[in-house]
Amino acid sequence: MSTARMVDRSDRGLVVVEGPDARTFLQNLLSQDVLRVPVGEWTHTLLLTPQGKLDVDIRLYRAGEDELWLDTEPGYGERLAASLNRYRIRVKADVADRSEEFGCLSVLTGDGDVARPHARGAAVLDIARPRGFDVIGPQRAVDEARGDAEVASADEYEAVRIDEGVPRQGLDLDDRTIAQEAFLDVDAVSFTKGCFIGQELVCRIDTRGHVNRFLRRVELVDGPEPPRGAELVTDAGKVVGSLTSVTPAGFPWLALGYARREVEPPAELTARWDDGEARVRLLELSMRRSSS
Q: Is the pLDDT of residue 289 over 50?
A: no
What is the per-residue pLDDT across 182-225, written as a single tens digit (0 to 9) for each? 999 999 999 999 899 999 999 999 888 899 999 999 999 999 99
**pLDDT at residue 109 in the model:** 87
The backbone torsions φ and ψ at residue 193, rounded to the nearest 5 degrees and listed phi first, read: -75, -20
Sign of the torsion formed by the C-alpha atoms of 123, 125, 130 and 131: positive
> Is pLDDT larger for residue 287 or for residue 133?
133
**Which residue in 167, 163, 177 sits closest to 219, CA to CA?**
163
Q: Is the pLDDT of residue 288 over 50?
A: no
**pLDDT at residue 275 in the model:** 93
**pLDDT at residue 249 in the model:** 96
Domains 5-164 and 213-283 are alike in CATH topology: no
230-268 burial code (b ≥16 CB/10 A, e <16): bbbbbeeeeebbbbbbbbeeeeebbbbbbbbeebeeebe
Region 75-85: what's the mean pLDDT? 98
What is the per-residue pLDDT across 217-263, written as a single tens digit (0 to 9) for each? 999 999 999 999 999 999 999 999 999 999 999 999 999 999 999 99
CA 199 to each of CA 169, 250, 265, 268: distance values in angstroms, whole numbers, following the listed order: 20, 42, 29, 35
Q: Is the pLDDT of residue 97 over 80?
A: yes
What is the per-residue pLDDT across 114-158, written as a single tens digit (0 to 9) for each? 778 777 899 999 998 888 999 999 999 999 888 777 899 999 999
**pLDDT at residue 149 in the model:** 73
**pLDDT at residue 117 in the model:** 78
Domain coordinates in residue numbering, the chain: 5-164, 213-283
**pLDDT at residue 286 in the model:** 67
**pLDDT at residue 129 in the model:** 81
Quick one: what percent of the chain has pLDDT higher than 70? 97
**pLDDT at residue 63 in the model:** 97
Region 281-290: what's the mean pLDDT? 71
Quick one: what percent of the chain has pLDDT higher than 90? 84
What CATH number does the domain located at 213-283 have?
2.40.30.110
**Which residue in 79, 81, 266, 287 sits closest to 182, CA to CA?**
287
Can you name the CATH fold of 5-164? Gyrase A; domain 2 (3.30.1360)
Count of residues in the chain:
292
